[in-house]
Amino acid sequence: MAERRVLRHLLFVLPVLIFAGAAVAFWLGLSGDRRPDSIPSALLDKPAPAFDLPAVEGLGVPGLKSADLKGQVTVVNIWASWCLPCKAEHPLLVQLAQESGVRLVGIDYKDKPADARAFLAGLGNPFAAVGADADGRAGIEWGISGVPETFILDSQGIVRFRWVGPLNAVDLKEKILPLIRSLE
């Protein structure tokens, strides 16, 4: 009889303990100084991956290939028209493209050409070139975890910085522009 009471008590307490353990693990995973822009990249301090992307049909700017990323400091932004954070960061990209000495290019990730054209027609096209990554292969080569992501390359085409998620005005001013200036 005592064994039965212990077993019933255990059946009551065990789910509560499992739930409490999962809640603590979840809380620890969300707390602390975890920032998505600190996700490491296998590309840091290595050449940009090899790729050759066609232009977005009807956009009026050239496509993009890895050879285009050499010769000057280049900012590569991977974006999509269906991405709400991409839309939120877009005014900062327009601002960044107006900075002296900044070359900004884009990779349109898994998008329809008409949607990409409409997106840039409505918000402005800050890109010197835009490659159409219709099947997402270039995104895989860049090791992205989603869009938007931004990479800064030195004049040799070496990846020096990766930003995961939408850019914000503070980090653009305090981190990204100073890094670009230091690489010029």
The CATH code of the domain that includes 144 is 3.40.30.10
Q: What does pLDDT average to over the chain? A: 90
Helix or strand holding residue 164 (H, E): strand 159-164
- Say yes or no: 96 and 178 in one domain: yes
My answer on whether 68 and 11 are in the same domain is: no
150 shares a domain with 63: yes
* 62 in the same domain as 22: no
b/e burial code for range 125-139 (CB count within 10 A of at least 16 → b)? bbbbbbbbbbeeebb
Same domain, 55 and 23: no
Within this chain, do residues 97 and 22 fall inside the same structural domain, yes or no?
A: no
Same domain as 171, residue 83:
yes
Q: Around 169, how many Cα atoms within 13 Å sit in the side-chain half-sphere?
A: 3
Count CB-CB contacts under 10 A for residue 140.
Answer: 11
**SS3 at position 58:** coil
Measured between alpha carbons, how far is 7 from 26 in angstroms, rounded to an integer? 29
**Cα–Cα distance for residue pair 165/100, rounded to 1 Å:** 24
Question: Within this chain, do residues 79 and 142 fall inside the same structural domain, yes or no?
Answer: yes
73 SS3 class: coil
Helix ranges restricted to H, the chain: 2-30, 84-97, 113-123, 137-142, 169-171, 177-183
Q: What is the mean pLDDT of residues 128-153?
A: 97
How far from the centroid of its chain's Cα atoms is residue 5's Cα?
A: 55
Report the number of distinct structural domains present in the chain: 2
DSSP state of 171: H
pLDDT at 10 over 80: no
pLDDT at 5: 78
**Over the stretch 61-107, which tens digit does the pLDDT of each residue have?**
999 999 999 999 999 999 999 999 999 999 999 999 999 889 999 99
Is the pLDDT score of 4 beyond 90?
no
* Whether residue 56 sits in one domain with residue 92: yes
Give the pLDDT of residue 42: 84
Residue span of the structural domain in which 9 resides:
1-34
* Entry pTM: 0.80
Please check whether residues 162 and 95 belong to one and the same domain: yes
d(CA 62, CA 73): 18
Same domain for 58 and 78?
A: yes
Q: What's the pLDDT score for residue 12?
A: 74
State whether 9 and 86 are in the same domain.
no
